[in-house]
Each structure stands twice: as structure tokens, then as C-alpha cells.
Structure 1
Amino acid sequence: MITNFSSFKVKIEPKPFITQKGKNFSHTAAISFFNDANIEIGFKECAFMEPEILHELISSGEPLVLDECYLEDFSFANYQNSSQAKAEERIEIKNFSAKNAVFNTKKETDFSFVNFTGILFSLEKALFLNGACTFHKVKFTCDDINFIETRFANGTVNFTNVSFNAKRIEFNNVVFGNGIKDFQYVKFNCSNLSFESADFGNGDVNFLNVQFDAGNIWFKEARFGVGKVDFHYSTFGKGNLNFERTDFGSGRVDFRKVEFNSGKVNFNRAVFGDGDVSFEETELTNSKMTCKKTNFGNGNLLFEMAEFGTSDLLLDQAIFGEGNVSFQQSSFHKLSVISCHLNHHIDFRVLACDYLDLSDTIVRDILDFTPYEHKVQITLLKLTGMRLLGQIHIDWYENNLRELIANQKDTNLFEKAEQFRTLKENFGRVGHYSFEDLAYIEFKRYEQRSIFKSALEKSRISALWQYPLYGFKTAVFDKMGLYATSPMRVFTSLLLVYLFFSLLHLISPLFFNTSISCIDADSSISYRMVTTFYYSLITFTTVGYGDCSPVGFLRIVAAIEGFFGPFMMSYFTVAFARKILR
């Protein structure tokens, strides 16, 4: 079929034409096709169908076969007027077929208000040379409805309020000219519906309020031109919906308040232009929508108030342009954005999400999780392999951040540690230093546990020293000072250690043959206590005036205290300086 012509010329010749099915016609329509330079680029001959003969065929009630015919100003409305039928009476056509037919009109080719019944309806490879075309309020009740490789001319193509009832409806490789394609309020009731590789040309494409009560639906590799693509308020059945590799053109794409039901929705490798893409308030039940390697162009991408509930939204390796992305007040079972470049603001303030996966992403702008008008209820948040060049706005307490990572079942200790390290760096960058400390503590805890576990896996014998070493690190670095993030905790631990050694110095002479040189055996209890605490203090601080010295077993205690004193004071100095300098 010739599709890229700019003009045409039709000549009716008085010579017979025999169709492939052996049907004879007295005249032939010779059609020449020309390009922009007015050079002939194609030629086609068809049987010329005279209007009087066409009206007789319609009136006969027999199957209407117009294969390979040329028809001028084709209109069922004209037939109804000429036959003086009542305006409210519908024409019924059985087994309509116009394969390889050519339609030409100055205004509009009119199929409206007709009941098409029988086994088939076919416009396969039909060519509309000029003018608009309308199927307004047509009722199809056929087994097969075939628009395969049909080519419509520039102008409005009107399918509004059409009712399709069929086993199979095929618009594969159909070509629409420039102009509005209007499918408002259409009802598709069929097992399979296919717009695969359809070319919708430039102009708005309107599927507003369409009922897709169909099984599987294909828009795979369909092409939309310049103009708005609108599926607003449409509902889909329980079958799968496939938009794989579809090119949505450069206009706005609107899926607002669409009910996708329980079928799988596939937008893999689809390409959107620079217009906004909206899935606001859409619904998907117990299924998943996949947008893997999808290019969303430079417009805003909106999933606000989407209700996916127990369904998944998978955006792995998707390409986000310069527009903002928003999931505000939406709900998902799983939201996956694996291996994406997040170069602009993304609003992750979802209403509910069981699992949010941001693994292997590169973040160059702001990811916003901070609750404002509503709670952000995320059960698990995965940041494994994230390269954070931007910022994450998230609240440690309001977002329950520790549990979001700690409860992950598909990550090991090292991966959890790395996620807390990423958060620590983020909080330091944005100036949330208290959150930075909390993230740092969790990072060190998981890192220490990971090192301990790896050491045990390499050698079971190492357990002899790994357990004591792990216990020492946990007690000293974690419990005593929270890895130098809490000066008050370190100072409290310092006082407890000093008190422990003081009491040890006080009670040891009661059980062992040991003493402190500056305390006589007949000294009072109060004097003994004051002097012992004084002696312990100068030992703990390593001042060592020399007026008191240990005798016997207390020499060992003094040596140990002389080590712990400077260590705890240094620990406090580090924690205090870290807090103040930051």
C-alpha cells in the first residue's frame, strides 16, 4: 500500500474490472499517487462502485462485499436519506468487507449509526484518500473486526460511543492521518484487542472513558505523534495490557483515574516525549506495572494518589528527564527504581509502601521522604549500591529509618552497613548531625558484626579470640560511648570506671594482704574512703604525686587503672571535640 503520497488523481475509465473473487464491474477507477514534487510514485486500479448499485446492495440485506472497490462520498446517512428510512431506524449490515477498497470524499466518510453483524467486519488494507471518517455510535457484533493496515486520511477519525462486541479486534499496523482520533466512550467487549504497530499520526488521541472489557490488549510498538494522548477515566479488564516499545510522541500523556484491574501492565522500553505523564489516582489490583528501561522524557511524571495497594510498580533502569517525579500520597506493595539516574527532584512521600528499592541508583538531586501533611509509611527501604551526589530528605524517627533497613531479609550485614554509611554521609551533608550520629552508630554496629561473622566463616579456630575481641569492642566502643558520638555517655562511663577501681582499691585489703601506703591499719572508715578515692583519682588521671603508693596485689590494679584512665579521658576528649567542632 502506498502511504507516503502528497496528492492523488482519480480517473474513471469505461473498462471492465474483475476482482480477485471474480466479481465483474463495468468501470475501473485508475488512481495515480504523487509526492511533494508532483512526481508520480504509485498507481492503483480498483472497481468503480456506482452509488445506485451500492444502495441496492445495502437494501438487499445480503453480505456487503466491497473488496477492491473505489467509493466516492461513501455515507450510510446518505443511503438512509435516499431510502426515506426513519432517522431513528438503524441500518443493519451483515459481514461487511471492504478489503483493499479505496474511499474518497470531499467532507466525511460516514459509517455512523449502523449495526454491523455476522462473522466479520473488515477494512483490511482499505485506503481513505481524503476527508474525515466517522463511526459514531456504530454497533459491532461480529466474531472478527479487522482494521489491519487500514490507512485513514488527514482529518478527524471519530469512533465515539461505538460498541465493539467480538472475539477479536485488530487495528494492527493501521495508519491514522493528522487530526483528532476520538475513541471517547467506546466499549471494547472482546477476548483480544490489538493496536500493535498502529501509527496514530499527529493530533490528539482520545480514549477518554473507554471501557476495555477485553482480554489481552496490545499497543505494542504503537506510535503517537504530536498531540495529547488521553486515557483519562478509562477502565481495563482482567487481561494483560501491553505498551512495550510504544512511542507516545511529544504531547501530554494522561492516564489519570484509570482502573487497570488485575492484569499485568507493561510499559517496558516505551518512549515518552517532553509532555507531562500522569498516572494520578490510577488503580491496579493484585498485579504489577513494569516500566523497565522506559524513557519518560523531560516532562513531569506523576503517580500522586495512585492506589496500587498489593500491586508492584517496577521502574528499573528507567530514564527520567528534567521533569520532577512524584509519588505523593500513593500506595504500593513494591516500588522499585533500581539502577536509575535520579537527576531531578523526586517526591517519595507515599501513603504506604511495603518495599521501596533504590538499589544501584545515582542521585544528583533531592529525594524527599519527610512527612508533612500525612505519615509516610514505608516498611522496607533498600539503598544498596546507591551513589549519593545529591540529598535525601528523610527523618530518622518519623520515617522509622532504622527499622526500614534493619528488617531487610534480602541483604547481608555488610550491605546494611553500607546503607547506614550512605545515610550518615547524607545527614552530614544536609546538617542533621543528630541523625548523622544515629546512622553512624548503626553503620559501625553492622560493620563490626559483618567483620566478626566473616572471620568466623574463614576459620572456626579464630572463635577463641574473635569472641573476646568482639565482646571488648562492643562493650568499650559501642556501649560506653556509642562510637564517640555521645560525650555525656562517655563521661558517664568514665565516672563508672573510676568508681569501679575506687571500690576495688577500697575492698581489696579486706580479702588480700595488700594496702595503700598512706592509709594506716587503724584509720577510720571515713578517712579510709576519702583517701582511697583520692588515691584512685590520681592513679586514674596518672598524676601520681607520690604521697600514696600501692602495696602487694593493688599494684596490679593500679597498673590496669593507669591504662584505663588516659584511655577513657582520651575517648571523652574525642567525643567532645567531635561534637563541638561539628
Structure 2
Amino acid sequence: MQKTEHQCSFFGQYGRCKDMAESGSQLCFWHDPDVDKTGDEVKARLEKRAETGQPMEGFILRRANLDNVNLVNHGGGKPYQLVNCDLSRASLCNGHFYRVDLSGSRLFKANLSNANLHRANLEGCNLLGVNLNNSLLDHVTWGDKLYQEQEAAANPENARALFEEAEESARNIRRHCENLGMMREAGHFYYRERVFHRLQMPKFSRQRVLSYLVDRISGYGESPLRVVLFSVALIVCCSFLYLFTGVQGGDTVIRFSQNQDLFQNLRYWLDCLYFSVVTFTTLGYGDLTPMGLSRIVAACEAFTGSFSLALFVVLFVKKMIR
């Protein structure tokens, strides 16, 4: 009696799989987790399947030997889609993945050494332990959030362990980007690495609060612009404190008063703003001097200003020499 073939029962975001199910199974060769895919013929079958142009969604390719696989669409059409697949511990050495959409795939400890990932889409991939030695990573789409970062938001009870994995993944990508001279991307992942490290700390702990302040002020040493914005905010804030505590200008006390008109108070604020800039930069012209509580404000601003200026120079030079 002849056996009848039936369509694979897998259903994903691109609809139902159009491949035929394996004998004795409801799933096709690619979606059946019990089918052995470690053979040498799997690479050729995958390349042939890709040429059909149909999305390759949810393929289970754990530990598959896909060395030298070529998934580049040489016809110039839409890039091949190998999305939401399980490629855990798969060997993808020297693979060609130019513009390939790998979004949502599990690449846990996959070997992508010497692979061409130029313009590949790795958004939402689990990249924990992935081997990227000597891989081409130019213009890779990493996504706004790493896989573990997304999972931590959905599973707050396991957030600490997930952020630890996210830190490890970010560190791994950062190191490979540094080896390739991709310093901008390396800096981005260094920043995310430090954020993930902070999120593992107990909430409201001293270490976490200090780490957060370093982030806000300098982006963990990756954002000179944040130092500038912090400096401007501090100068403006201190100018208002001087306006209400008062500074001495010769025989005149420059201070806000409700008995003065708006124009006079505005002039006094501009004088206080000038004094704040002079104090922040530690120039000290001497035409205006602090008085009373404004002395404490001036001392704190001068100390913070000297530190901020030095920090900005260090970060700016760091960016320029990369």
C-alpha cells in the first residue's frame, strides 16, 4: 500500500511550512528535532532549500556541520531568511552569510570563525558563547537589545542570571570588534557591557548608584558629549543657587529679590551665570566673589569643574586616537 505524503505541520510568522513531512512524523526534515542533521549532506541540502526563496524559519540545526555553507543570494534578489532557527553548537566555519537574515536564531556556542557576516541581521539572536574569531562583522545589525536583555524584561525573577549572560555576550562581541579595528562598535558594546554589569547589582546599593552616576555623566567613558551636557547643566544650576544665596560685586550684593523688577533679576541672573562659568573653569577673575552659603556652592562647583574638564579631555583624546 503506497504511503501518502502530507505537509509539515510547523506554523510560524511566515505561515505554514510547505515542505513534506518525514515518514512517521508530522514535521519535515528541517523542523523534526529527532532527525539527525550532523551529516555532510546537510550543507548541500540547506543551500538547495535556500535557493527556493522560501523563508527558512524555525529550522532545527543543532550541532549541524555547515562549514563553508553559502547562503548568499547571488541572484540579487531578497536576502535569504534563516530566522528563529536553532543553530546551537553548529559548525559554520568559513560560512558565507552576506545580508542573510538570521534574526531570532539561537547561535549558542555556534562556531562562526572566519565567516562572512557582512550586513547580516543578528537582531534578537542568542549569541552567548558564539565563536566569531576572524569573522567579517562590518555593518552587522545587532539590534537594540541582546536576546538575554529581552528575556530579562519578560522574566524578572531570572533577571540577574540573564544580565550576567548578556554581559558575557557583549564582552565577547566587543573583543572581536576591537580585534577587527571596529572601535565605534567596540565602544558601543563596552557601554552595554557596563550597563549589564550594573543591572546585576542590588537595587539602590551604593555600587549601583555610583555606577549609574558614572553612566549619566560620561557613558562609562564612551560619551564626551554627556560630560559637556553635565557641565552645562551644573553651570546653570549653580547660577540659580548663586542668584538666591547672593554674590558680591564690589559694593553691590547680587541676589534675587521680589522687590526688584523682572529685568533687574534677569541681569543679576546673567551675572550669576557668568560667575558660575568662571568658577567652573577655575579662572577666578575676582570681579565677583561668593558670600555666605554661596561659598560652599562655589567650592563644590570649582572641584567638580576641574574634574569634569579633565575627564572631557581624556574622553575626547580617547575618541580621536581610535
Normalization by structure 2: what TM-score?
0.71
1:326 matches 2:71 = yes
Structure possessing the higher relative contact order (Cα contacts under 8 Å, 6 or more residues apart): 2
Structure 2 letter corresponding to 1:388: L
CA distance in 1, matches of 2:227, 2:311: 7
The answer to whether 1:437 aligns with 2:187 is: yes
Q: What is the match of residue 272 of structure 2? A: 532
Structure 2: distance between partners of 1:570 and 1:331? 49
Q: Are 1:508 and 2:245 matched, yes or no? A: yes
Could you tell me which amino acid in structure 2 is paired with residue 574 of structure 1? V
Does 1:473 find its partner at 2:211? Answer: yes
Higher Rg: 1
Cα separation, 2, equivalents of 1:517 and 1:553:
16
Q: Deviation per CA, 1:548-578, whole angstroms, max 9, x where unpaired? A: 4432212221221122111221221122112
Q: Which residue is equivalent to 2:320?
A: 580
Q: 1:319 to 1:536 in 2, by over 3 A?
A: same
Deviations 1:12-42, CA, capped at 9 Å, x for gaps: xxxxxxxxxxxxxxxxxxxxxxxxxxxxxxx
Equivalent-residue separation in structure 1 for 2:82 and 2:187 (angstroms): 31
Shift of 1:379: 5.5
Read off the aligned partner of 2:44 and give its amino acid letter.
V
Question: Aligned partners of 1:446 and 1:534: how far apart in 2?
Answer: 40
Distance 2:236 2:313 in 1: 19
- After superposition, the Cα gap between the structure-2 partners of 1:262 and 1:530, relative to the gap in structure 1 and judged at 3 Å, is closer
Which residue pairs with 1:279 in the alignment? 46
Aligned counterpart for 1:337 among listed residues 68, 84, 87: 87
In the alignment, is the contact (CA less than 8 A) between 1:281 and 1:306 conserved in 2? no
Contact 2:32 2:60 in 1 (8 A): no
Q: 1:334 to 1:348 in 2, by over 3 A?
A: farther
Q: How does 1:89-168 map to 2 (within 5 A)?
A: 165=1
1:407 Cα offset (Å):
2.0
Equivalent of residue 144 in structure 2, options 399, 402, 406: 402
> Of 492, 497, 511, which aligns to 2:229?
492
Residues 212-233 of structure 1: CA distance to partner in whole angstroms, max 9, x if unpaired?
749xxxxxxxxxxxxxxxxxxx
Give the Å deviation of 1:502.
1.8
CA distance in 1, matches of 2:20, 2:280: 77
Which consecutive unaligned segments of at least 5 residues does structure 2 have? Answer: 7-18, 74-78, 156-160, 256-263
Deviation, 1:367, is: 4.0
Letter paired with 2:280: F
Distance 1:236 1:550, change over 3 A: closer
SS of the residue corresponding to residue 521 of structure 1 reads strand
Q: Distance in 2 between matches of 1:488 and 1:354?
A: 32
Q: Which residue pairs with 1:229 in the alignment?
A: none
3-state SS of paired residue (1:436): helix
| SS of aligned partner of 1:366 | coil
In the TM superposition, residue 279 of structure 1 has moved relative to its aligned partner by 2.8
**Would the alpha carbon gap of residues 307 and 556 (structure 1) be closer, same or farther in structure 2, given more than 3 Å must change?**
same
Quickly say closer, same or farther: Cα 1:522–1:408, change in 2 above 3 A: closer
- Shift of residue 384, structure 1, vs aligned partner: 0.8
Is the 8 Å Cα contact of residues 338 and 357 (structure 1) preserved in structure 2?
Answer: yes
Secondary structure of the equivalent of 1:402?
A: coil
| In structure 1, distance between residues paired with 2:267 and 2:126 | 61
SS at match of 1:337: coil
- With over 3 angstroms needed to count, the CA separation of the structure-2 counterparts of 1:310 and 1:337, relative to structure 1, is closer
Distance in 2 (CA, whole Å) between partners of 1:534 and 1:540 is 10
Q: Is the 8 A contact 2:71 2:80 kept in 1?
A: no
| Mapped partners of 2:124, 2:61: distance in 1 | 16
Give the letter aligned to residue 236 of structure 2.
L
Residues 103-252 of structure 1 aligned to structure 2 (within 5 Å): 165=1, 189-190=2-3, 213=5, 239-240=24-25
CA–CA distance in structure 2, aligned partners of residues 522 and 569 of structure 1? 27
RMSD: 3.9
Tell me the equivalent position of 1:267.
Answer: 36
**Of 51, 61, 86, the match for 1:314:** 61
Alpha-carbon distance between aligned partners in 2 of 1:422 and 1:389, rounded to the nearest angstrom? 10
1:358 pairs, out of 99, 107, 110, with 107
2:130 and 2:254 mapped to 1: Cα distance? Answer: 70
Q: Residue type of the partner of 1:570?
A: A
CA contact (8 A) 1:240 1:264 kept: no
Hey, what's the Cα distance between the residues in 1 that align with 2:151 and 2:139?
Answer: 19
User: In 2, distance between residues paired with 1:311 and 1:527?
Assistant: 68
What is the total number of aligned residue pairs between the two structures? Answer: 289
Letter in 1 for 2:127: L
Deviations 1:297-326 (A, max 9, x none): xxxxxx45564655432232x4455x3443
Of stretches 357-366 and 498-507 in structure 1, the one that deviates more from structure 2 is: 357-366
Once residues 488 and 554 of structure 1 are traced to their aligned partners in structure 2, the CA distance between those partners, rounded to angstroms, is: 28
- 1:448 shift after superposition: 1.2
Deviations 1:135-159 (A, max 9, x none): xxxxxxxxxxxxxxxxxxxxxxxxx
Tell me which amino acid in the other structure corresponds to 1:266: V
Counterpart CA distance in 2 for 1:359 and 1:497 is 45
Letter in 2 for 1:239: G
Q: Runs of 5+ in structure 1 lacking a partner?
A: 1-164, 166-188, 191-211, 215-233, 242-258, 283-302, 457-462, 510-514
CA contact (8 A) 1:424 1:437 kept: yes
> Identical aligned pairs, as a percentage?
19
| AA at the equivalent of 1:568 | S
1:562 partnered with 2:298: no
Matched-pair contact (CA < 8 Å) for 1:334–1:355 = yes
